[in-house]
Amino acid sequence: MATRTIAGKTVQVNDEGFMTNSAEWNKEIAVAIAVEEGFADLTAAHWKVIDFCRESAAKLGGKSPTLRQITTGTGVSTKELFALFPKGPAKKVARIAGLGKPEGCV
């Protein structure tokens, strides 16, 4: 497994850059990954989705939630989710939240 340093912390990542140990994640890492993904700032709406995904993954044995699970669990519509995390929201949220790539994502 590869490692990289994000926000001053060395973490384990896979070939696609997803963290492989969500326990290594913290909010500073989330902010740093968000900047890499093109987000200047994470709003309360972003954090609502990120926090839900982390809580959901803990209940799902570490698996990232699907787009449908995110919209259902947060009450954020698909349209709003795409506005918050353009071009592949489930995948982007998973990266920022320190989770693995969601199943079914290309």
On average, the pLDDT of the chain sits at: 92
Condensed to tens digits (0 to 9), the pLDDT of residues 66-102 reads 999 999 999 999 999 999 999 989 999 999 999 988 8
- How are the residues of the chain apportioned to helix, strand and coil, as percentages rounded to the nearest 5? 50, 10, 40
Q: Which residues contact 42 (CB under 8 A, 6 or more apart)?
A: 30, 31, 34, 50, 96
Which residues are the active-site residues?
A: 105
Asked whether 72 and 80 are in contact (CB, 8 A), the reply is: no
- Residue 18 C-alpha from the chain's centroid: 9
pLDDT above 80: residue 54 = yes
What percent of the chain is modeled with pLDDT above 90?
82
Alpha-carbon distances of 5 from 17, 19, 64, 75, 92, rounded to whole Å: 11, 11, 22, 34, 19
